[in-house]
């Protein structure tokens, strides 16, 4: 079984409202090749503080159906984001990010 995610599978995995981190109020903050989506804003902002990367990140919540589109997935792929973490966590022992991760296949 492939771990590639289709648009429909991604929509089914997400809550109706999803949150992402941003520094400018629009663009999703990513740590290539990873992007990060969250089920609530508190979890997103807690993750940003734990990352401790020095950027002023804040969470924005949007309707999952409005954000998740073929265009959005193509945009992620075009910016070298090939993995999406869903509600990631940070291992306090070593600082590694872990959790459910979905692979985006390249467009063919």
Strand partners, 35: 30, 84
The chain-wide mean pLDDT, for the chain, equals 84
For the entire predicted model, the pTM comes to 0.83
What tens digit of pLDDT does each residue of 18-60 get? 999 999 998 899 999 999 999 999 999 999 998 877 778 999 9
Name the nearest CA neighbour of 103 among 76, 78, 84, 79. 84
Residue (of 100, 89, 108) closest to 10 by Cα position: 100
The secondary structure element, H or E, covering residue 103 is strand 97-103
- Given a contact cutoff of 8 angstroms between Cβ atoms, the answer to whether 47 and 30 are in contact is no
pLDDT at 102 (0 to 100): 81
pLDDT tens-place string over residues 63-82: 887 777 778 878 888 888 98
């Amino acid at each position: 079984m492939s771990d590639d995610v289709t648009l429909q599978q991604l929509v089914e995995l997400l809550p109706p409202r999803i949150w992402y981190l941003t520094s400018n109020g629009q663009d999703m903050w990513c740590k290539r090749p990873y992007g990060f989506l969250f089920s609530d804003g508190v979890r997103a902002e807690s993750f940003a503080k734990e990352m401790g990367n020095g950027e002023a990140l804040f969470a924005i919540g949007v309707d999952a159906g409005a954000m998740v589109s073929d265009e959005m997935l193509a945009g992620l792929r075009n910016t070298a984001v090939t993995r999406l973490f869903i509600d990631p966590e940070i291992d306090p022992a070593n600082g590694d990010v872990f959790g459910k991760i979905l692979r985006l296949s390249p467009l063919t």
